[in-house]
Structure 1
Amino acid sequence: MIDETSLAALFEAARAAQASAYAPYSGFAVGAALFTVEGGLHAGCNVENAAYPSGTCAEAGAIAAMAAAGGRRIAAILVVGPGEGLCTPCGACRQRIREFAAGDAVVLVAGAEGVRRRFTLDELLPASFGPGNLAGGAT
């Protein structure tokens, strides 16, 4: 469970990252922020590229920032996007999150007004394949 203070910190970090997104082609700026199990806070934004498949998602940026800081376990992640619809992590990002999170990790989806929906990773990626499926892999 994530408390209100932690939720506010995640939301503010994700909104700040969203404001820095580089989305000149789609105009769809996304920010993400995550907490590690140790309490580290890391954020990222989407970065588009003229060669479309070469861009990166906000979640990937936040995970890369976490890894660069030595973090290895995600406790919660919040993704904020524009528009009225839910901006849930794409399939590739769900798998990226799975690499560093347990099935009960909290995934929050937000808009400008705040959190719109809460999921667990298991709800977004049921029966997932992760490090524990590989010989010698972490769980």
Structure 2
Amino acid sequence: MAMMQEFKSFITRGNVVDLAVGVIVGAAFSKIVDSLVQDVIMPVVGKVVGGLDFANYYLPLNHQDTNLTLVEAKKLGAVFAYGNFLTIVLNFLILAFIIFQMVRLVNSARKKAEEAPAAPAATPEEVLLLREIRDLLNK
């Protein structure tokens, strides 16, 4: 029973819940970046380089025909899939840059919050009473 209470306090701590939310949002965001890279950026890069699908660029290692798609060539043996690797590297770089910008924004917001002047502390009641007594004595 004690272990269940300990687990409950662990799982309900704010940082664990925040981490879970971050992982879920990160996974969804990763799919958006994957689509951006595969559906928008890489077709343009492939067109510039001269092919239609950059991810299908490979070097055959088992004398496969180079006119096959990457999936078909992999079925026939080992291939050096440099186009797919470059697509994944580009995907990583875009995702890392966006995360960097987000962290930069959060750090900037924290810095501004730290620089903001703190509200003056409320005057304690004892001080107010002493001032009132002083004012009465001065009359």
Normalised by the length of structure 2, the TM-score is 0.24
Over alpha carbons, which structure has the higher Rg? 2
Normalised by the length of structure 1, the TM-score is 0.24
Question: As a proportion of its length, which structure holds more strand?
Answer: 1
